């Protein structure tokens, strides 16, 4: 995936080529650490987190871009102080990068989320008049689509930590860039483009804090894992993981795609986008909580 980003430099408009190269230089730090993990070097979660923080700080230093608006009226005056804006930017971009890694548990799910996000960002950029970002986002969307053709449904290749971290990181910075250059765009609309990984990660962090474990480590209670196990236990039967895995993505895809498309629709309506974020969040967490009692009442499939 990072190779596709490097190759895309050939298609970047000349005025943006140098800045795009600097952005990829910063991104390469996180990519290389993720790649080392994929190659079996056992990089500790704290080191991966530090790599993501370092990459974000490098983008800020090299490109002088960060979040200057939060979409919350009473908090936005504090964003005028660069330490606040920089800290929030690092928190958001690192969180989204980790979020994409955490949802990368079944074939195609993280890629579907990335494509939906990239297309939504392209639509927002087009409506705002940010033509360069339209090209960047669509190039990424097509690169991910090419990956999906091989990854789904049989999982012949995988994103791995390197690919998932890189996708989340790049997409989050695309969103930050749109907000930096076009004040008319709603931060809540940008949040909607990455709603699924953000919501799933928020829920994971809540579970870790509650059980006093490491916040960014994966567990077996992510939404996609619950759906996949439910398919095996209640519908397909155990030992049908090869079918349950891609079917989980098919089931979840409409819910993953809907928030980004809503964000593209409400791109410049901050109040409406904020309300929709709240509604999606209530629906997401409500459905998650209700899943457990519902599954306990369902009859298990006989083997």
- Cα–Cα distance for residue pair 14/211, rounded to 1 Å: 51
Q: Locate 229 and state its tokens.
A: 């196990």
Compute CA distances 153 → 56, 98, 182, 248, whole Å.
33, 24, 38, 10
108: left (phi over 0), alpha (psi -120 to 50) or beta: left
DSSP output for 63-108:
H-------S-TTTGGGGGSHHHHHHHHHHHHHHHHHHHHHTTTSTT
Q: Which amino acids are annotated as binding site, given as ranges?
A: 101, 161
**Within 13 Å of residue 130, how many CA atoms lie on the same side as its CB?**
25
Q: Which amino acids are annotated as binding site for Mg(2+), given as ranges?
A: 101, 161
Q: Which residues neighbour 239 within 8 Å (Cβ) at sequence distance 6 or greater?
A: 232
How is residue 217 annotated by DSSP? S
Q: Locate 188 and state its tokens.
A: 């809540």
Nearest CA-CA partner of 124 in 184, 80, 82:
184
């Amino acid at each position: 995936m990072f190779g596709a980003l490097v190759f895309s430099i050939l298609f970047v408009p000349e005025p943006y080529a140098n800045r795009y190269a600097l952005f990829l230089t910063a991104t390469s730090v996180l990519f290389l650490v993720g790649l080392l993990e994929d190659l079996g070097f056992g990089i500790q979660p704290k080191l991966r987190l530090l790599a993501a923080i370092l990459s974000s700080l490098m983008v800020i230093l090299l490109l002088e871009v960060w979040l200057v608006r939060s979409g919350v009226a009473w908090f936005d005056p504090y964003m005028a102080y660069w330490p606040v804006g920089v800290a929030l930017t690092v928190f958001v971009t690192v969180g989204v990068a980790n979020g994409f890694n955490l949802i990368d548990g079944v074939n195609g799910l993280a890629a579907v989320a990335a494509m939906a996000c990239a297309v939504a960002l392209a639509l927002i950029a087009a409506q705002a008049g940010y033509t360069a970002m339209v090209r960047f986002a669509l190039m990424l969307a097509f690169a991910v689509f090419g990956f999906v053709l091989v990854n789904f449904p049989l999982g012949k290749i995988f994103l791995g930590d390197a690919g998932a971290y890189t996708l989340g990181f790049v997409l989050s910075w695309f969103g930050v860039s749109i907000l930096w250059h076009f004040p008319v765009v709603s931060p809540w609309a940008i949040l909607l483009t990455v709603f699924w990984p953000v919501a799933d990660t928020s829920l994971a962090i809540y579970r870790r804090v509650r059980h006093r474990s490491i916040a960014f480590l994966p567990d077996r209670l992510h939404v996609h894992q619950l759906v996949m196990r439910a398919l095996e236990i209640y519908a397909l039967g155990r030992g049908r993981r090869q079918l349950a895995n891609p079917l989980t993505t098919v089931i979840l895809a409409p819910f993953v795609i809907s928030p980004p498309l809503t964000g593209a629709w409400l791109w410049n309506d901050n109040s409406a986008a904020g309300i929709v974020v709240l509604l999606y969040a209530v629906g997401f967490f409500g459905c998650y909580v209700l899943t457990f009692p519902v599954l306990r009442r369902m009859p298990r499939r006989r083997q």
